[in-house]
């Protein structure tokens, strides 16, 4: 079989050019091309512990992508899927040597472990410097029996260790405290991966696809065989359930490496979804959502930090891994969270928004959270308005559809009816909140947008969403819900809508009915009561709709229809047809008016 087509097929060239690119992608990096070491200027490391990491290439952005203020000081670049040699590692230690010591973060693979250990011991023996090597072994796929002698492999959890160690060093923690943090992390760190296909190493023949017809659970990041092969028909949700069981189920003695307490709701858990290289961004995001749902539903866990992206890849591996880091409520746990949140200039790190910030947003006061600003005193009227609009739109839909069949694609009436029906159904099933006017209007906007779709759905959605915001911002508890309150909100919603469409009165669109309604209501509400203001405004809206019979179309599909005679009742009496969208607005407003007139 032929190799996979690539722009660069020579592995050594690929690694060399990748390494060179980094000094252009991140200012402040240096390169030792002889030993393939990327490092930050030693002057920046005076007075603190330094951090070194590295390994075989093919796992980008690891490890060069994590060089920067707040993470690594040097990265040692090995060949594809091969550990760097002892001399390379020694050179990295020389370049970032510090009197305060150096922490070396290493994935637990035999080649990495042996080469880094030997280099570390040689460097310590010749310089007397304090250098500590930290092994990361977060893989839970390999059971205790199989991994008895070599231990668990180091996977994507390595990146979390690098972030914590790097932030700790850059903020002045001494080497003993940093190593202690690593020990705490290792006790609560677990990763499990799954892949649909092996990765393809440049210059090598494609691996026989017949061997990977299913889903490889626990496949290594260098194409090591899977621990378990699942049938191809296994659903993604079943796959994730099995992956989470391997991570969190204490009843699996071979794989239960984390504390049984990890499933407690009051525990702190950090979640990382890692792309092994071959997944799209949208697919990884969807997988993240499914993992989060299962964590909460089955284990009652809501992570306090969530990371998703390509952190430690396997070239173009068509898979992903799930990493969890379980922390308790100790002072050390708070320190680790704080260090994860610290900023870094490393271009491979994707930060997470702390859950405390989400909590602050969700617990905002009524003045901050506009959807909770006012209580609807007459929720029965709100329900009657929805029902009345549905009734009016249902009655006028055939006419609107007939008009639109002549002028457009014939879906204006049915689309509007779909929105009205969705609202009526939501009202009947209790999905439409009636406790707050602005909250209810926001829900109306969401339901209408989902049900209608297309251009009209977007226009209604924008206007109704802006109206919900306007209702909240215009609310004054001392004044209440009078005509002026609604006029202010309507004007604000119209201002927002006009930013997204250039259509105005005279352009033969629904704006010919909507704008006159708002204009007249605004003026009338200064002198008349609410019902009278609505009557005057709806009447003017109907006039605006009728006037569209004699206008040339400038927007939408009807633009392409001849303007001299859009339709005829008979051969001798041509009559222009009113704009279907404007007719729809009048139907909605008429339904609103009748509900208010006869509550």
Catalytic residues: 222
Q: How far, in Å, are 167, 210, 230, 418 from residue 336 at the CA level?
A: 9, 44, 36, 51
Of 191, 198, 159, 192, the closest CA to residue 316 belongs to 198
Q: Where are the beta strands (DSSP E) in 68-130?
A: 74-80, 102-107
DSSP 8-state class, residue 60: T
Of 365, 590, 379, 370, the closest CA to residue 468 belongs to 370
Chain-centroid distance of CA 507 in Å reads 39
The dihedrals phi and psi of 192, each to the nearest 5 degrees, come to -140, 135
562: how many CB neighbours lie within 10 A of its CB? 6
Q: How far, in Å, are 12, 385, 436 from residue 475 at the CA level?
A: 67, 20, 12
204: how many CB neighbours lie within 10 A of its CB? 13
Task: Give the separation between CA 165 and CA 104, rounded to whole angstroms.
Answer: 9
Task: Give the separation between CA 35 and CA 114, rounded to whole angstroms.
Answer: 18
Please state whether 98 falls in left (phi above 0), alpha (psi between -120 and 50) or beta: beta
Pairing of strands 50-57, 74-80: parallel
Q: Are 160 and 189 in contact (CB under 8 A)?
A: yes
Task: Give the separation between CA 88 and CA 381, rounded to whole angstroms.
Answer: 77
Task: Give the separation between CA 521 and CA 53, rounded to whole angstroms.
Answer: 68
Task: Give the separation between CA 49 and CA 177, rounded to whole angstroms.
Answer: 11
Of 379, 359, 377, the closest CA to residue 369 belongs to 359
Q: Considering only the C-alpha atoms of the chain, give the largest distance between any 2 of them, rounded to a whole number of Å.
A: 107
225: how many CB neighbours lie within 10 A of its CB? 11
Contacts of 58 (CB under 8 A, 6+ apart): 80, 81, 199, 201, 222, 313, 314, 315
Task: Give the separation between CA 508 and CA 408, rounded to whole angstroms.
Answer: 13
Of 485, 386, 479, 487, the closest CA to residue 434 belongs to 386
């Amino acid at each position: 079989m032929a190799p996979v087509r690539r722009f660069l097929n020579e592995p050594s060239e690929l690694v060399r050019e990748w390494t060179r690119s980094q000094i252009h992608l991140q200012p402040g990096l240096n390169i030792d091309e002889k030993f393939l070491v990327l490092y930050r200027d030693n002057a920046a490391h005076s007075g603190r512990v330094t951090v070194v990491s590295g390994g075989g290439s093919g796992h980008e952005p690891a490890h060069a992508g994590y060089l920067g203020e707040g993470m690594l000081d040097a990265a040692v670049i090995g060949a594809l899927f091969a550990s760097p040699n002892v001399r390379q590692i020694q050179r990295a230690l020389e370049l970032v040597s510090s009197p305060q010591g150096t922490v070396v973060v290493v994935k637990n693979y035999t080649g990495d472990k042996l080469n880094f250990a030997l280099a570390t011991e040689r460097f310590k023996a010749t310089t007397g410097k304090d250098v500590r090597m930290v092994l990361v072994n977060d893989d839970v796929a390999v059971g205790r029996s199989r991994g008895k002698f070599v231990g668990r492999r180091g996977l994507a959890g390595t990146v979390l260790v690098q972030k914590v160690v790097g932030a700790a060093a850059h903020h002045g923690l001494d080497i003993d405290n940093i190593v202690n943090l690593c020990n705490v992390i290792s006790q609560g760190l677990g990763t499990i991966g799954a892949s649909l296909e092996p990765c393809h190493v440049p210059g090598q023949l494609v691996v026989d696809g017949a061997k990977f017809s299913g889903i490889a659970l626990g496949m290594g990041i260098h194409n090591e065989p899977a621990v378990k092969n699942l049938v191809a028909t296994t659903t993604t949700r079943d796959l994730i359930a099995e992956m989470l069981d391997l991570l969190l189920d204490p009843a699996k003695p071979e794989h239960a490496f984390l504390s049984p307490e990890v499933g407690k709701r009051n525990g702190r858990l950090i979640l990382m979804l890692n792309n092994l290289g071959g997944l799209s961004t949208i697919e990884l995001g969807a997988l993240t959502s499914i993992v989060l749902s299962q964590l909460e539903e089955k284990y009652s866990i809501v992570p306090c930090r969530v990371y998703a992206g390509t952190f430690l890849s396997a070239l173009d591996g068509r898979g992903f891994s799930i990493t969890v880091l379980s922390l308790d409520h100790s002072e050390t746990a708070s320190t680790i969270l704080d260090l994860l949140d610290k900023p870094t200039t490393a271009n491979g790190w994707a930060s997470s928004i702390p859950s405390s910030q989400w909590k602050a947003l969700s617990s905002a006061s009524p003045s901050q959270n506009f959807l909770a600003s006012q209580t609807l005193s007459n929720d029965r009227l709100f329900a009657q308005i929805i029902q009345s609009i549905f009734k009016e739109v249902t009655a006028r839909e055939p006419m609107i559809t007939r008009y639109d069949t002549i002028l457009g694609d014939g879906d204006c009436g049915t689309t509007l009816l779909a929105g009205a029906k969705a609202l009526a159904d939501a009202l009947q099933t209790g999905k439409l909140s009636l406790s707050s006017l602005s909250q209810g209007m926001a829900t109306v906007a969401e339901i209408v947008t989902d049900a209608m779709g297309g251009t009209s759905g977007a226009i209604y959605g924008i206007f109704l969403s802006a109206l919900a915001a306007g209702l909240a911002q215009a609310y004054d508890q001392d004044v209440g819900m009078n005509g002026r309150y609604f006029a202010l909100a309507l004007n604000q919603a119209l201002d927002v809508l006009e930013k997204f469409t250039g259509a105005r009165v005279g352009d033969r669109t629904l704006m010919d009915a909507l704008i006159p309604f708002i204009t007249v209501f605004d003026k009338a509400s200064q002198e008349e009561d609410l019902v009278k203001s609505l009557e005057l405004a709806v009447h003017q809206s109907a006039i605006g709709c009728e006037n569209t019979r004699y206008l040339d179309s400038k927007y939408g599909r009807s633009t392409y229809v001849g303007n001299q005679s859009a339709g005829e009742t008979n051969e001798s009496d041509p009559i222009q047809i009113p704009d279907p969208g404007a007719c729809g607005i009048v139907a909605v407003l008429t339904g609103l008016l009748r509900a208010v007139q006869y509550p």
